[in-house]
Structure 1
Amino acid sequence: MPQLIPFYFLNQLSFSFFTLLALIYILSKYILPLFTFQQVIRMYITKLSNKS
């Protein structure tokens, strides 16, 4: 049925858009701060080990 093709593409577009938004939110809220915190801890340990 050709009249359903635009709805199919709109469904794909909206699903991929919401998936991308959810992925960006989860990465920025939970995963990326852990990497930043890990780098800060590594720098702190390196500075402490260089002093002794």
Structure 2
Amino acid sequence: MPQLIPFYFLNQLSFSFLTLLALIFIFSKYILPLFTLQQVTRMYIVKLGNKS
């Protein structure tokens, strides 16, 4: 059935696009702020360690 091939590729494209959007949202909302918080915490610990 060659007439179904465009729908297959459109389905793949839309699924990939939605997956990419979901990954970007999850990383920006939950994962990347934790790395920023970790770096800030390390910086404060190093600064406190240098004062003594």
TM-score, normalised relative to structure 1: 0.99
Matched with 1:21 is: 21
Give 4+ residue runs of structure 1 displaced > 6 Å after superposition: none
Deviation of 1:43 (Å): 0.1
Q: Quick check: 1:11 aligned with 2:2?
A: no
SS in 1 for 2:23: helix
**CA-based RMSD:** 0.2
**Structure 1 gap ranges (5+):** none
Between the aligned residues of both structures, percent identity stands at: 87
Q: Quick check: 1:33 aligned with 2:51?
A: no
TM-score, normalised relative to structure 2: 0.99
**Structure 2 gap ranges (5+):** none
Q: Distance in 2 between matches of 1:32 and 1:50?
A: 28
Per-residue CA deviation, residues 5-35 of structure 1 (Å, 9 max, x unaligned), is 0000000000000000000000000000000
